Amino acid sequence: MDMGLAGRRVLVTGGSKGLGFAAAREFLAEGARVVFCARDAQEVAAAEAELGDGARGVVADVTDPAQVTRLIEAAVAELGGIDVVVNNAGGANPGTGESISEDALRHDYDLKVLTWQRVLRAALPQLRASDQPRVVNVGSVYAAHPDHRFFATAVNRAAGANLTRCWAAELGREGILVNGVDIGCIETPQWANIRDKRAPGTPLAEFLATTAEEDVPLGRIGRPEEAAAAIVFLASARASYLTGTTIDVAGGMGLRV
């Protein structure tokens, strides 16, 4: 199936590892060109080398508005414009409403809501100039099915879900499609942090297996490339009549009767 992504210019935040890296790799396989960012210079260099031709990494922290501006400028200089924005930067901040600090909750909101707003607004002139503009925001199934053990994620991803819908409504007449992918238990580096807070001392493989057994109807942790496939689809020509839509890639996690 031709996804209509050949030659498309893609920006992926949080692209040096995990789901963002898998998405960058899938876009490249479809013939797109990719600029990705992350905060760690060594991780950016390593990912750029592994991705190879067609990919360029930029060191940037998207919680800093000035660095977002420089990121967009770097992407435009490298690609000549931007057709697709994938807002993937994020992080795990487990804790209950009682245990999480106000500072941690505020930082989580900045990372999971305001960064989407910053990047999308900064890229908007480029999207308006594209003939196939797409935005894909990567969130969590906890946005619709909250878990009190992930208080910050549940609260802030719900805000992000409505940010996606509001932008979709605002930009629909311009043909700029804004959609989301909500993930469940996808095997990414952030699970080590979750394990450290929820079950310190438990081997990571054991923790993941227990989590899958308890929370995921398919009974296994998802692979980054499985979520990346949904991101690439929403960015493609095949998703031309989808906006304000969120696809759950969670193995059934979050289902309620």
Q: Is residue 102 part of a domain?
A: yes
Q: Is residue 44 part of a domain?
A: yes
Q: Is residue 128 part of a domain?
A: yes
> pLDDT tens-digit profile of 152-164?
999 999 999 999 9
- Is residue 200 over pLDDT 90? no
Q: Is the Cβ–Cβ distance between 96 and 148 less than 8 Å?
A: yes
CATH of the domain at 146: 3.40.50.720
Q: Strands (DSSP E) along the chain, which ranges?
A: 9-13, 33-38, 55-59, 84-87, 134-140, 177-183, 246-249
Give the structural domain span for 153. Answer: 9-249
Q: Is the Cβ–Cβ distance between 225 and 192 less than 8 Å?
A: no
Question: What is the pTM assigned to this prediction?
Answer: 0.94
Q: Is residue 240 part of a domain?
A: yes
Q: Is residue 2 part of a domain?
A: no
Q: Is residue 175 part of a domain?
A: yes
> pLDDT tens-digit profile of 67-87?
999 999 999 999 999 999 999
Q: Is the Cβ–Cβ distance between 167 and 252 less than 8 Å?
A: no
Q: Is residue 4 part of a domain?
A: no
Average pLDDT, the chain: 94
Mean pLDDT, residues 215-242: 96
Q: Is residue 215 part of a domain?
A: yes
- The total of structural domains in the chain comes to 1
